[in-house]
Amino acid sequence: MVKKSVGNVETKTFDVLGDLKLTSGKVLSNVSIAYETYGTLNSDKNNAILVCHALTGDAHAAGWHVGDRKPGWWDGLIGPGKALDTDKYFIICSNVLGGCSGSTGPSSINPKTGKAYGLDFPIITISDMVNAQYKLIQYLGVEKLFAVIGGSMGGMQVLQWAVSYPDMMKKVIVLASCARSSPQQIAFNEVGRRSIVSDPYWNNGEYYDKVNAPDAGLSVARMLAHITYLSEESMYSKFGRGLQDRDELSYDFALDFQVESYLHHQGKTFVERFDANSYLYITKAVDYFDLSINGSLAEGLKNIQSKVELISINTDWLYPSDQMVEILTALQANHVEVNYHELKSDKGHDAFLIEYPQLNFIINSFLSENIVDDLMDSVIPTISKDATIKEAAKIMFDNHVTHLPVVTDENVLIGIITAWDLSKSIAIGCNNLTEVMTKDVKVCKSSDSLEDIAKEMKMFDISSLPVVDDDLKLEGIITTDQISHLITNY
């Protein structure tokens, strides 16, 4: 399939109804969340994937805004034919709470004062960001996400989703992240924050109506952070000890080296799009992130129900692979179905934003390894063998279904009644359910491959299959309508 862009897109805004209670106990009112969507939500509303952005990202993950010089930050993964295929999935990405790209943050207007919040904005956590996203997902009419995916701070949000809302998604993908910030990571963030608050123009966070902003402090914070996003290998291959616009050393404090010029450029462009106070608040949320309970990560992750894909990067020294292995071990201790890949790249932490060929392959494989459990309905109407035909007809009519499993008091499947069976009962004048129900029922397991089940349903011209366990107890039902958007040639 030819991989294409999602084209021109616009950022939308969702206004949260009511107050948002924060982890700190404080409350935020009049909260707005900026978001973008790509693709179409299907009729079953089960193909939605939430993308969570990293520290200084935003809702613009793919496609083009009018006047853009480059597409959204994950355009290489989102679009027709890509891992996050917009012909299959409905992709959602929102700017985090506390951000400065459309979502409520310290640069937003405080409804109580009519001025920017500044430091009156309450401290937020990753959990608060996720709770705001949850309200957006509800607003969009999605009852259960197919997947949640994100890298770096986005990966923290993914794990928080899996812990806070364990039954809200089928799969999660965590890239280049951790389940609790390390002392080194906290230290880097604190140095960046000290750079900002030491800038004389920071003015205790009240600079929004001033001529000057703390651009110098924010620029240095970005320069420091950007060093941690690279690897020694990538810095050598990109810059080496090459000089910038000169043939010999200056023997003063000018920018002699290419790497110096590069970092200054990163700092300069960053202050043009990001707010210094937002940087303070978001890095603090990252520092507070810790999913362990009483020091035990296994205990903190014990409620996760999703299938998990973990992806680390072999040259990432900001979020090294051993932090991802720690998550892997904790999940395995809880018998969570989990895959782990270590990406081979010399790009360092930034590889999760760059290495598209590897990422497309790994992510597409994980999302495409669909089993019946990914899509089946687990809450379904059933009927007893002692019920009447009329009762069966009423249940089918009220629930808009054409197949009704017949079960014992112990929920063991003993047959199925279909709309065709109801027609047959009328034709032969029968009111006894057991006389017309199908007793030799084809069934499947929740762990069966969707592709295999789809082929079997086509072979036997079946539009619905009960899902049972080893004891024939009913677990759910899978229909051709549910899988048609994922498998097009079954």
**Active site residues per annotation:** 152, 316, 349
151 and 43 Cβ atoms separated by less than 8 Å:
no
The first and second tokens of residue 193, run together, are 């924050």
Determine the Cα–Cα distance for residues 278 and 98; give it in Å rounded to an integer. Answer: 6
Q: Is 362 left (phi over 0), alpha (psi -120 to 50) or beta?
A: alpha
Q: How many CB atoms lie within 10 A of CB 149?
A: 30
Determine the Cα–Cα distance for residues 292 and 309; give it in Å rounded to an integer. Answer: 19
Using only C-alpha atoms, what is the Rg of the chain? 27
**In terms of C-beta density within 10 A (0-12 exposed, 13-18 middle, 19 or more buried), how is residue 445 classed?**
middle
The first and second tokens of residue 453, run together, are 């089940």
The tokens 């402090």 sit on which residue?
217
Determine the Cα–Cα distance for residues 76 and 120; give it in Å rounded to an integer. Answer: 38
375 and 450 Cβ atoms separated by less than 8 Å:
yes
The tokens 């004389």 sit on which residue?
200
- DSSP letter for each residue of 346-411: SSGGGGGGT-HHHHHHHHHHHHH--BHHHH-BSS---EETTSBHHHHHHHHHHHT-SEEEEE-TT-
Determine the Cα–Cα distance for residues 177 and 193; give it in Å rounded to an integer. Answer: 21
Closest CA to 325 of 215, 177, 477, 139: 177
Max Cα–Cα distance, the chain, nearest Å: 103
253 and 232 Cβ atoms separated by less than 8 Å:
no
Residue 265 identity (one-letter amino acid): H
In total, the chain counts a number of residues equal to 490
Residue 284 identity (one-letter amino acid): K
Q: What's 451's DSSP letter?
A: H
Q: Please, what sign has the CA dihedral across residues 216, 222, 228, 229?
A: negative
